[in-house]
Homo-oligomer: A and B are copies of this chain.
């Protein structure tokens, strides 16, 4: 399973906006997060069209969150730039047509997406900006670290 650079950039850019005084210029975000400026502009525009950002032009212009940082999740962001949170062979799990023995696989993909969702929909920009991730995430990370130390 792969998450695109665009989705990663979008989340980082939004985190940056959540943590700085509005309005914030695209160039500042690009520098801080090492994202190609013109690529970032496209992404910010998508996010604006989706209603997650507002903006102003001119010398004192920039971008800012359209809603409170605690009301924007990573899932919201990724859906804007990547579409559905999880898709298999370019389709949503439900619309896959499996025959015979492979049929139960469909349920696995559905479960997989549900699990992806449970993480991405639980993390808000406010939590990232304050480095205060939800318990679900912290526990998962703790488990991974415990494993690595073996």
Interface residues of A (CB under 8 A from B): 1-5, 8, 11-12, 15-16, 18-19, 32-34, 74, 82, 85-90, 96, 98-105, 107-112, 114-116, 118-120, 123, 127-129, 131, 133, 136-138, 140-141, 143-144
Contacts and interface: CB of A to CB of B under 8 A. Distances in A.
A16 B109 CA distance: 17
Query: Interface residues of A: mostly helix, strand, loop or mixed?
Result: helix
Given A1-B2, A12-B101, A111-B144, 18 more contacts: A1-B82, A1-B85, A2-B86, A3-B86, A3-B89, A5-B89, A8-B89, A8-B105, A11-B102, A16-B100, A32-B100, A74-B108, A101-B128, A103-B131, A105-B128, A110-B141, A111-B140, A112-B119
B120 A140 contact: no
19 contacts: A1-B1, A1-B2, A1-B3, A1-B85, A2-B87, A3-B109, A3-B112, A5-B89, A16-B100, A32-B100, A33-B102, A104-B131, A107-B141, A108-B133, A111-B136, A111-B140, A112-B119, A115-B118, A116-B116
